[in-house]
Structure 1
Amino acid sequence: MSIIDDINNLDINNPGLWPTTIKHGFFVIFFLIIVFAGWHFDITEQRESLSGLEIKETERIGVLKVRQKKAANLNALIEQMEEMEQTFGDMVRQLPNKTEVAGLLIDISQTGLSSGLNFKLFQPNAEAPKEFYAELPISISVVGNYHQFGAFVSGIATLPRIVTTHDISIKTTKGDTVDGVPLLVMTAIAKTYRALEEENE
């Protein structure tokens, strides 16, 4: 009898009468199914655990790389911070103290006069205190031409103290001319700043 005939003649209700080769084959297949099922379920759980660990590893490697970059740049960042502190200190030293503000106002006025401008208004306004400095706005109205205005603004920029100009407006005057060139009126707010540390000490 062939194996195919043995398989066709099997009595499923009475496995004890099966031929020996069929019994052995059945037990091997049954054993393999049990081993595969156990392996599959055990490995599936381990795969999920491994997948979670791989994700954590990737995240931690990313964090480590960021920290490593920061650590590698630490000396450069410290140097940059020291430079910024130095620059900040230099800028604070450019702020006049309360006693130097009057001299700075005279310097601004003299710069305008030496540029050939005629002052219609030169009025310091109320100080506006900020975190570590006070802002002193000065309302200015001068009469002159474009070249004189340019010389005035350039002159202010070269002063040893910080002075900025804001809200600049230039308009023609009514009928005033010099050598046939119409005169202009420039209104602006010049802002100077003074250090507050002097008062706090």
Structure 2
Amino acid sequence: MDLSELDFENVGSWPTQYRVACIAFICALLSGAFFYYVTLPLLDDLEQIEAQEVVLKNEFKVKAALSSNLEEYRVQIADIKVIFEGLLHKLPSNAEVASLLDDISFIGADSGLQFKSINWGAIKEEELSTEVPISIQIVGRYQELGQFAADIAALPRIVILDNLTLTKGQQDLMTLNVIAKTYRYKESLK
């Protein structure tokens, strides 16, 4: 029998080999459509979920490592808070900034230095602190200037000597121009 002789309205009367071929063709067509429209999108979703699984596993590993050291981190944070509080106490309060000028004058006089000028600079507001500069010009011998710097460093409050300019004067005297900077912690952030 030839394919052109087949009656498509009466498929049941077809010879067995043609019926099997037609059923196989229809099954292949349905399988292809099912794979293309149902399975492929699910495979794409599966790839995305597997990639997300890898990311989540890595996040879990990081968080597990952090949580396993949680007590150590808490101890470190407590230690850091103690150190921070100690450093805050080394910063002068508003009242102590004014007395700092007296301390610097006393240290200079005690070291045998002569003050040409000592003036407040422009206060500079930072995010966490306020910078308070003091412009100083002093005259003395090299050893006296060194002792002055050492005594300033030994103050119980933080004072930084910045922008040092040393010029040679008459005899063995030198002139030191320096900006002594101290910082006040902004109380509103405590």
**TM-score normalised per structure 2:** 0.70
Do 1:11 and 1:18's aligned partners in 2 also have CA atoms closer than 8 Å? Answer: no
Residues 1:30 and 1:138: Cα distance change in structure 2 (over 3 Å):
closer
2:2 to 11, 28, 31: 11
Aligned mates of 2:29, 2:113 — CA distance in 1: 104
Aligned mates of 2:44, 2:102 — CA distance in 1: 79
Gaps of 5+ in 2: 8-12
Q: CA deviation at 1:130?
A: 6.6
Which residue of structure 1 aligns with residue 28 of structure 2? 33
Aligned mates of 1:46, 1:190 — CA distance in 2: 70
Query: Which region of structure 1 is more displaced relative to structure 2, 164-173 or 120-129?
Result: 120-129
* Amino acid corresponding to residue 177 of structure 2 in structure 1: T
Tell me if 1:48 matches 2:44: yes
Aligned mates of 2:158, 2:60 — CA distance in 1: 45
Which residue of structure 2 aligns with residue 138 of structure 1? 134
Tell me if 1:177 matches 2:167: no
RMSD: 3.5
Which residue of structure 2 aligns with residue 6 of structure 1? none
Aligned mates of 2:70, 2:47 — CA distance in 1: 34
Residues 1:146 and 1:61: Cα distance change in structure 2 (over 3 Å):
same
Aligned mates of 1:40, 1:139 — CA distance in 2: 82
Tell me the matched-pair count. Answer: 181
User: The residue matched to 1:177 in structure 2 has which SS?
Assistant: coil
Residues 1:102 and 1:24: Cα distance change in structure 2 (over 3 Å):
closer
Aligned mates of 2:80, 2:55 — CA distance in 1: 34
1:191 to 181, 187, 190: 181
Q: CA deviation at 1:109?
A: 2.4
Aligned mates of 1:194, 1:47 — CA distance in 2: 62
2:115 to 103, 116, 119: 119
Do 1:166 and 1:190's aligned partners in 2 also have CA atoms closer than 8 Å? Answer: yes
Aligned mates of 1:81, 1:131 — CA distance in 2: 22
Aligned mates of 2:166, 2:83 — CA distance in 1: 34
Residues 1:195 and 1:51: Cα distance change in structure 2 (over 3 Å):
closer
Aligned mates of 2:22, 2:94 — CA distance in 1: 103
* Amino acid corresponding to residue 28 of structure 2 in structure 1: I
**TM-score normalised per structure 1:** 0.67
* Amino acid corresponding to residue 171 of structure 2 in structure 1: T
Gaps of 5+ in 1: 1-9
Q: CA deviation at 1:152?
A: 1.7
